[in-house]
C-alpha cells in the first residue's frame, strides 16, 4: 500500500500546440510549432521559413481537441482526473504577440474549456508558454534575444491571469525552460526562445541572454499574478533527470556535477532569486557582458516561484572525455552513454523509476519547495487488436514511477503536490512530430502519415489509471 496526501492532484498533461489543432481557428496566429515539420526517431524535425506549401506540419491539426473538447473532457472525467495540465496557446490570445488588444475569440475558447473542466471538478493546471510563442515575434523581433519580449510576455500573462483568476489556481510560467541550456540541438533553442543561429552569431551567448530575459519575465509574471490573486500558486517548470557519473573516476563525477549545474541554474534563479556563483564566473570568463541590470536582479529576488513543476522521463550517464576538469563550457565535452543497468524505450530514453525518487530528494534538499511531477511517461508504439490496446508496458512504467513517488513521500518526507502523466491522450510528439510515439491512456486513431479517423479509444492503461486515482494511489495492480 502506498500513501498519498488526501488532496493529491492526480491528473494528466498535454500542451496546446501538441493536441488542440485548429491552428488558424477563430483568429489564431502562427506559432513556432506551426512551422515545424514532422520527423521520426531517425530524422529531426525541420524548422521552415514560415508555413510552406507541400510540407507536413503535424501540429496544424494535431488531434483536433479544439473541435472535440466537450467529448474529450467527458472522457477525462471518466478517467477520474482531478487535474488537467495544459497550456494556453499564446497565439490564440495575441495572434502576432505585439497587438494592443487580445483576441476575444481565443479568450473565450479557454473560458469554455475551463468551465467544462470545472463542471467535472477537474482542476486546470496551466502553463503560460509551452514551445508555442508567436512566430511573428521571431521574425520581427528576433525572439528572446530582444528585451521587448519581456513586455509582450508579461502583457499576455496579465491578460490571462485577470481573465481566468476565478477559474485557474495553478500556473507555470515557461515549460522546460532549461532544456535549451545544454545547447544540444537547434530544436530546443527554437522552441524555448525562438533562436535560430544567424551567420557569425555566438549562439551560446544569445541563449544566455534570451534565458535571462525569460527568467526576468517569469519573475515579473509571478508578481503580477500574485497581485491579481494572492491565492494563485505559480510555479517554474524544468526538464529534470539525474546525471549519473559513468564511473567512480572523480573526473566523471565532476562532469556529472557540472552537467547538473548547467541543466539546473534556471532553478537556482527561479527558486532562490539569484544566479549561482559558477555561472557568474562563467559569464566573466567568456566576456559575455550580458544585459543583466540591477533592476533585473531585484525583480528576480522578488519573483521566486511557489512550487517546482518538472518533467521526468529518464536519467543520464555522463562520462568525461577531457583529462582535466578545471574548466568547462556549456557546450561541454562529455559523452552521454547508455546505462548498462537499465532498459531503454524505443527512442533510447533510459527507463529509471528510482531516478525519480533521487531527483525528488535532490530538489527537496536544494530548494525546499513543494514539487509537482507535471510530466512523466513512456513513448511507445501501440498496436490496436480487435479494437483493444493492451499497453501493459506503459502500465508497468507508470506503476514503477508511482511506487517511487510513494517512497519519496512516505520515507523521505518529500512534499509532492501531484502527478500528471504526459500525453495521457495520444498527441503529437514535441521532439519528433510523430503521432506514433504514443504516451496515452486514450488512443487517438491517427498515424505519422496523418491518416486516421481521430476516433478516441480506451487503452488498458485507462482502466488501470482510473483505479489508481480512485484508490488515491493505494491500488497499483
- Contacting positions for ligand BG6 (CB under 6 A): 15, 18, 175-176, 239, 311, 375, 379, 422, 429-432, 437
Closest approach, Cβ 97 to ligand BG6, in A, equals 20
Between helices 392-410 and 460-470, what is the axis angle to 10°?
A: 20
Q: Residue 234 or 245: which CB sits closer to ligand BG6?
A: 234
Closest approach, Cβ 375 to ligand BG6, in A, equals 6
Answer positive or negative: Cα dihedral of 188, 191, 197, 201: negative
Cα–Cα dist 325/327, whole Å: 6
Closest approach, Cβ 86 to ligand BG6, in A, equals 11
Closest approach, Cβ 422 to ligand BG6, in A, equals 5
Q: Residue 65 or 282: which CB sits closer to ligand BG6?
A: 65
Cα-Cα end-to-end distance for the chain: 10
Closest approach, Cβ 306 to ligand BG6, in A, equals 20
Other beta carbons within 10 angstroms of residue 8's beta carbon come to 19
- What does each C-alpha distance from 324 to 202, 250, 258, 283, 313 come to in angstroms? 25, 10, 13, 21, 31
Read off the C-alpha cell for 414: 518529500
Read off the C-alpha cell for 207: 541563449
Catalytic (active site) residue 204? no
Please name the residue ranges forming H helices in 236-352: 250-267, 277-286, 294-302
Cα–Cα dist 223/369, whole Å: 18
Q: Which residue is nearest to ligand BG6 (CB)?
A: 431
Which residue is catalytic, options 20, 123, 214, 375? 375
Q: Please choose, from the candidates 81, 77, 85, the residue with its C-alpha nearest in 3D space to the C-alpha of residue 427.
A: 85
Q: Please choose, from the candidates 248, 249, 247, 225, the residue with its C-alpha nearest in 3D space to the C-alpha of residue 236.
A: 225
Which residue is catalytic, options 116, 123, 132, 176? 176
Residue 379 three-state SS: coil
Answer positive or negative: Cα dihedral of 9, 12, 16, 22: negative
Closest approach, Cβ 83 to ligand BG6, in A, equals 16
How many residues are recorded in the chain?
A: 477
Catalytic (active site) residue 375? yes
Cα–Cα dist 131/468, whole Å: 31
Active site residues: 176, 375
Amino acid at each position: 500500500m502506498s500513501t498519498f496526501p488526501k488532496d493529491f492532484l492526480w491528473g494528466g498533461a498535454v500542451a496546446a500546440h501538441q493536441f488542440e489543432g485548429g491552428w488558424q481557428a477563430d483568429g489564431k496566429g502562427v506559432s513556432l510549432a506551426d512551422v515545424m515539420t514532422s520527423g521520426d526517431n531517425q530524422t529531426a524535425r525541420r524548422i521552415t521559413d514560415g508555413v510552406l506549401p507541400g510540407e507536413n506540419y503535424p501540429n496544424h491539426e494535431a488531434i483536433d481537441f479544439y473541435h472535440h473538447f466537450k467529448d474529450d473532457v467527458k472522457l477525462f472525467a471518466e478517467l477520474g482526473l482531478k487535474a488537467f495540465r495544459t497550456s494556453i496557446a499564446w497565439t490564440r490570445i495575441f495572434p502576432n504577440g505585439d497587438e494592443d488588444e487580445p483576441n476575444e475569440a481565443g479568450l473565450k475558447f479557454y473560458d469554455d474549456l475551463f468551465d467544462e473542466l470545472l463542471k467535472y471538478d477537474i482542476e486546470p493546471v496551466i502553463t503560460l508558454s509551452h514551445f508555442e510563442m508567436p512566430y511573428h515575434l521571431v521574425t520581427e523581433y528576433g525572439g528572446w534575444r530582444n528585451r521587448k519580449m519581456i513586455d509582450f510576455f508579461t502583457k499576455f500573462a496579465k491578460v490571462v491571469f485577470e481573465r481566468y483568476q476565478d477559474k485557474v489556481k495553478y500556473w507555470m510560467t515557461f515549460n522546460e525552460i532549461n532544456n535549451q541550456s545544454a545547447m544540444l540541438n537547434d530544436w530546443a533553442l527554437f522552441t524555448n526562445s525562438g533562436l535560430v543561429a544567424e551567420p557569425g552569431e555566438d549562439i551560446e551567448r544569445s541563449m544566455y541572454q534570451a534565458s535571462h530575459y525569460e527568467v526576468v519575465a517569469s519573475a515579473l509574471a509571478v508578481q503580477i499574478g500574485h497581485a491579481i490573486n494572492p491565492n494563485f500558486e505559480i510555479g517554474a517548470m524544468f526538464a529534470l533527470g539525474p546525471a549519473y557519473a559513468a564511473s567512480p573516476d572523480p573526473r566523471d563525477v565532476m562532469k556529472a556535477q557540472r552537467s547538473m549545474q548547467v541543466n539546473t541554474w534556471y532553478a537556482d534563479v527561479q527558486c532562490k532569486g539569484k544566479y549561482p556563483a559558477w555561472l557568474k564566473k562563467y559569464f566573466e570568463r567568456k566576456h559575455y557582458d550580458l544585459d543583466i541590470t540591477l533592476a533585473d536582479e531585484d525583480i528576480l529576488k522578488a519573483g521566486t516561484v511557489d512550487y517546482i513543476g518538472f518533467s521526468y522521463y529518464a536519467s543520464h550517464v555522463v562520462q568525461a572525455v577531457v583529462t582535466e576538469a578545471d574548466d568547462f563550457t556549456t557546450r561541454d565535452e562529455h559523452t552521454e552513454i547508455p546505462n548498462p543497468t537499465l532498459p531503454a524505450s524505443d527512442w533510447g530514453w533510459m527507463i529509471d523509476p528510482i531516478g525519480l525518487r533521487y531527483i525528488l530528494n535532490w530538489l527537496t534538499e536544494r530548494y525546499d519547495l513543494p514539487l509537482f511531477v507535471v510530466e512523466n511517461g513512456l513513448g511507445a508504439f501501440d498496436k490496436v487488436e480487435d479494437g483493444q490496446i493492451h499497453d501493459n508496458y506503459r502500465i508497468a512504467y507508470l506503476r514503477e514511477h508511482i511506487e517511487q513517488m510513494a517512497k519519496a513521500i512516505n520515507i523521505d518526507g518529500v512534499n509532492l503536490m501531484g502527478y500528471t502523466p504526459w500525453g495521457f491522450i495520444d498527441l503529437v510528439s514535441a521532439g519528433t512530430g510523430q503521432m506514433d510515439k504514443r504516451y496515452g491512456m486514450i488512443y487517438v486513431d491517427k498515424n505519422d502519415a496523418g491518416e486516421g479517423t481521430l476516433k478516441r479509444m480506451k487503452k488498458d492503461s485507462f482502466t488501470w489509471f482510473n483505479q489508481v486515482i480512485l484508490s488515491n494511489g493505494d491500488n497499483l495492480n
